[in-house]
Structure 1
Amino acid sequence: MQALDIQINIAVIGAGAMGAGIAQVAAQAGHRVYLHDQRDAAADSGRDSVAKQLQRRVDKAKMTQQEADDIVGRIRPVSELSEVADAGLVIEAIVEDLSIKRTLLAELERLCGQQTILASNTSSISITALAAELEHPERVVGMHFFNPAPLMALVEVVKGLATSSRVAEIIHATAANWGKTPVFATSTPGFIVNRVARPFYAEALRLLQEKATDAPTLDALLREAGGFRMGPFELTDLIGHDVNYAVTCSVFNSYYQDPRFLPSLIQKELVEAGRLGRKSGQGFYDYSGGVDKPLPRTEPACKSGSTPVIVEGKLGPAEPLLDRIRETDVEIIERDGPGQLRFGEAVLALTDGRMATERAAADGVFNLAVFDLAFDYSKVTRLAIAMADQATDRATSDACALIQRAGIAVSLLEDRPGLVVMRTVAMLANEAADAALQGVATPSDIDLAMKAGLNYPEGPLRWSDRLGAGRVFQVLRNLQDSYGEDRYRPSLLLRKNHFAERKFYS
């Protein structure tokens, strides 16, 4: 399907940061853009903000002055909604309120020709519900940009129950023509990104509530071990806790209080206290002048003797960690076994979703240390470990020393199921699998959305494949057994793939 020709006029309703950004994207692609806002002078201010953004690019020699002037010149503020009547595509980017959006769409349907596509930039409202009262609901589609629209690559193209496939395909092609990365999604709560991303925040918040460690350490582990661009507490401070908490509550209520989406009491308290993050000056971190950001908890250097490292079996995804240990001067002895390392009094194993204490009792290995998942063990700079309650102080020291020997900082956590990165990745993969199972999007579009929309180091379903042999399914089963909660139930698709020994990608 072809994209909209650049000769076709585009209209953007709502001239706030998002609307102005969308107008800039369309104007950069060569379209003439009508920018309307019911607030006095807001459309002019929106165009001015675009001009300021582009001027920064000119000042950095990333764009010529003429190019910037041409883009701004294609944005035309209009004071009356009737002035957008000849647009071929109208994108609304107004307040997230179903009633207000419905009223606007009904007025646009009356003003615009029958071939005009009506798109909504909503991040949470059902496209089906938005279009339900229109005479021609088939021309209503979601076109969900991410903020800031000129910089963020992802556009979710969302089909409501009545949305024409032709309309969705035109918008998909148009978004691609505008230099974006479009993905198809069906109109379910949260679409792709706002649904699949919930565990990234939720599991860290739960670990904080369970006193596993502090926020700076959890952030550092998800950055330095997980490969995520920002930790969840840094990110929610940036987004704003009022916004992030509202999205979580919306998804939770839309899914009839499914425990997978349970909001956090910690975040609720921050919102009630007005500690909304960067915009209020305080959230999980203090943003007032002169306050240093707290450092993650890091174990001091632990001494170890010349004892050899005994490798029992294969370490699976953690095999590159052994390669780093091999590069040191320690003696390596290899023999068959369940996939673990012995060093001094310590036995180290990759977490399987159980608490170290629980696993030690089941396996009869009482000096057990479980270590966390890393996106890339060959480059990881920090790892979490947790010790079984039965372990000796000497075993704790030996476990830390071995990880440190590989040049990796150690954060010692309280013993909690699945540690940090492993349980987060498992839950992200679980939510992605359920979205695929329910036809929200294809596995490839889900993974693409999470990478393009949130800069994840890898799509959760491809990451699950890379971990191999049903590992995510088993981690989830163990989390569910440890907590006794439906929150950690494995997706039916993960279960099926596990027993069929099948991956999401061939």
Structure 2
Amino acid sequence: MSALGNNALVAVIGAGAMGAGIAQVAAQAGHPVKLYDNRPGAAAEAVAGIDRQLGRLVEKGKLQPAARESIRARLQPVEAIEALADARLVIEAIVENLEVKQGLFLQLEALCADNCILASNTSSLSITSLAAGLKRPQQVIGMHFFNPAPLMALVEIVSGLATDPALAVSLYETAKAWGKLPVHTRSTPGFIVNRVARPFYAESLRLLQEGAADCATLDALLREAGGFRMGAFELTDLIGHDVNYAVTCSVFNAFYGDFRFQPSLVQKELVDAGRLGRKSGQGFYCYGEGAESPQPTQLQSHESVDSCVIEGDLGIVQGLAERLRGAGIAVSERAGRGLIQVGDAVIALSDGRLASQRAREDGLRNLVLIDLALDYRTASRIAITWSADTTPVARDQAVALLQRAGLAVSAVADLPGLVVLRTVAMLANEAADAVLHGVGSAADIDLAMCAGVNYPRGPLAWAQQLGAGYTLRVLEHLERSYGESRYRPSLWLRRKNAQGATLDE
């Protein structure tokens, strides 16, 4: 089944920001579009807003004036739902309420032709439930755009239990024709993105609750070491804590209280206090007039170091060795366990154990653990922690070496997996479970997380770079440290490691 032709009428119900954005996407792709909202005048106002957006594109030279006129001519606001009777595809973007959406679909099924596709832009409701009770449930599908729809590339094509597979193929091809990056997924709680993304917020919230570091430091580490565009606290402030907390609760409840998705008491307290983030003027950060942005904490060392010894294969940390050489550090090599020796200090990448536990178990004195970085050659900040027996001199020698490499060094409490490593491991673990449960393919899940929420690398691709065995070991250490099912490694990840297979197979 191929993409819908440009002559196919697309109807969009709901003239809010999302509905208007979807209408703009369809019209820019060449379709005639009817936009309807049950609030009088709302559709016309939205079309005028779209025209202003197009005008700004013309001013910037990104759109020709004639193209703007053509797009505007294809957009028709309507004041009665009956005007949508001739639509080939209807996309609803109304209030996120199951009963309201079900009522709308019953009305549309009676109004539109038998071959009309009924699509929902829901981000969390079950497509199977939306289709229940309809005479033609095979015509119901999810088409989940991300906000703002004209700019965000990802579209999740969500199949319910009764959805015609050919319909999913057709809308997949249609989304591609619209210039989007579609992925197939099943109607399970959170689909791909809202499910797999939960650990990104959850791990930072937990680290804050456990006193690892302050918000500004944890956010800076995710940005400047992990390569994420925003840290979890600034991102939830932007999304709105009422929205983010509600999605977490929805996924948690939908999975019958699985503690992998447990909501945070820290975030609940913000919601209870009305501190919803940017829209209320305060969340984790303050946004009032004159409010100052807090700065991340940073260690300083006055030790002087000009040489270090690399013991064995550093694996993913090899980029740091290159960086040290480039900074004029004399680097010598010898056999060993993947460590860096500088002065009295021993530096190692975290493996998910507490620094003090690893020092004792592995017989390492003055152990300093460093966090994961997206690319050690270009990262601007790194997190460290150290064992209880590490001397201040040894710690400062490790800090001095990292500073010589041009890294800002932020200390975090001795907690398992530090910041970036545990976040990435948990994202990969949830992605692995999503593959195991048939929610999406490994490739589609990685694409969804990059295109939908701007992750610097797909979680499974990142785990592949770390190594399936290393990722699994980090998760096992987290699980042992906390004694919680929240950190249980996915069977899919265990199986891939046992098979010696790559995570994209």
Question: Normalising by the residue count of structure 2, what TM-score does the alignment of the two structures yield?
Answer: 0.98
The alpha carbon displacement at 1:329 in A equals 3.1
SS in 2 for 1:402: helix
**2: CA distance between counterparts of 1:424 and 1:168?**
32
Matching residue's letter, 1:468 = G
1:464-479 equivalences in 2 (<5 Å): 464-468=463-467, 470-479=469-478
Alpha-carbon distance change, 469 to 82 in structure 1, aligned in 2, over 3 angstroms:
closer
Who is 2:99 aligned against?
99
Moved over 6 A (4+): none
1:162-191 CA-to-partner distances (Å, cap 9, x unmatched) read 000011111101111011000000000000
Cα deviation, residue 458, structure 1:
1.0
Separation in 1 of the partners of 2:233 and 2:415? 19
Letter in 2 for 1:425: V
Query: Secondary structure of the residue that 1:175 maps to in structure 2?
Result: helix
Secondary structure at 1:130 match in 2: helix
Secondary structure class of the residue paired with 1:279: helix
Secondary structure class of the residue paired with 1:34: strand
**For residue 447 of structure 2, what is the aligned residue in structure 1?**
448
After superposition, give the CA deviation of every residue in 1:41-90 in whole Å (9 maximum; x if it has no partner).
11112112211211211221211233222212211111111110000000
Aligned residue for 1:115, secondary structure, equals coil
Q: State the shift of 1:305 in Å.
A: 4.2
Instruction: Tell me the CA shift for residue 405 of structure 1.
Output: 1.2
Q: 3-state SS of the aligned residue for 1:302?
A: coil
Describe how 1:390-405 pairs up with structure 2 within 5 A: 390-405=389-404
8 Å CA contact 2:251–2:261 kept in 1: the answer is yes
Q: Is the 8 A contact 2:347 2:368 kept in 1?
A: yes
Instruction: Quote how far apart the aligned CAs of 1:298 are.
Output: 1.1
Q: Report the 3-state secondary structure (helix = DSSP H, G, I; strand = E; otherwise coil) of the residue aligned with 1:213.
A: coil
Corresponding residue of 2:489: 490
Instruction: After TM superposition, list the pairs within 5 Å mapping 1:383-422 onto structure 2.
Output: 383-422=382-421
Which residue of structure 1 lines up, in the alignment, with residue 212 of structure 2?
A: 212
Residues 415-451 of structure 1, C-alpha deviations (whole Å, 9 max, x = no match): 1100011000000000000000000000000011011
1:72-221 equivalences under 5 Å are: 72-221=72-221
Q: AA paired with 2:452? A: G
Q: C-alpha deviations, 1:4-52, integer Å up to 9, x for none?
A: 0111100001110000000000000111111111111111121122112
Work out whether residues 35 and 77 of structure 1, in 8 Å CA contact, stay in contact via their aligned partners in 2. yes
User: C-alpha distance in 1, partners of 2:200/2:294?
Assistant: 21
Amino acid in the other structure paired with 1:354: R
| Match of residue 283 from structure 2 | 283
Identity %: 59
What is the rounded CA distance, in whole Å, between the counterparts of 1:341 and 1:121 in structure 2?
51
User: How big is the shift at 1:332?
Assistant: 2.4
Distance 2:80 2:240 in 1: 33
1:208–1:214 Cα contact (<8 Å) kept: yes
> 1:374 offset after TM fit, Å?
0.5
Gaps of 5+ in 2: none
1:366 aligns with 2:362: no
- Measure, in 2, the Cα distance between the counterparts of 1:281 and 1:131: 40
Contact 2:305–2:400 (CA under 8 A) maintained in structure 1 = no
Q: Distance in 2 between matches of 1:328 and 1:152?
A: 39
Instruction: Determine if contact 2:301/2:396 at 8 Å carries over to the other structure.
Output: no
Residue 173 of structure 1 aligns with an amino acid whose one-letter code is E
Aligned AA for 1:37? D
Describe the SS at the equivalent of 2:135.
coil
Shift of 1:500: 1.7
- The aligned length equals 505
Provide the residue aligned with 2:349 in structure 1. 350
Q: Distance in 2 between matches of 1:139 and 1:331?
A: 67
Paired residues of 1:302 and 1:400 also in contact (CA < 8 A): no
* Aligned CA distance change for structure 1 residues 272 and 469 (closer, same or farther; 3 Å): closer
Separation (CA, whole Å) in 2 of partners of 1:19 and 1:372: 42
How far apart in 1 are the matches of 2:92 and 2:470? Answer: 43
SS for the counterpart of 2:142 is: strand
Matched to 1:9, the amino acid is: L
Amino acid at match of 2:485: D
Matched to 2:437, the amino acid is: Q
* 8 Å contact kept, 1:44–1:77: yes
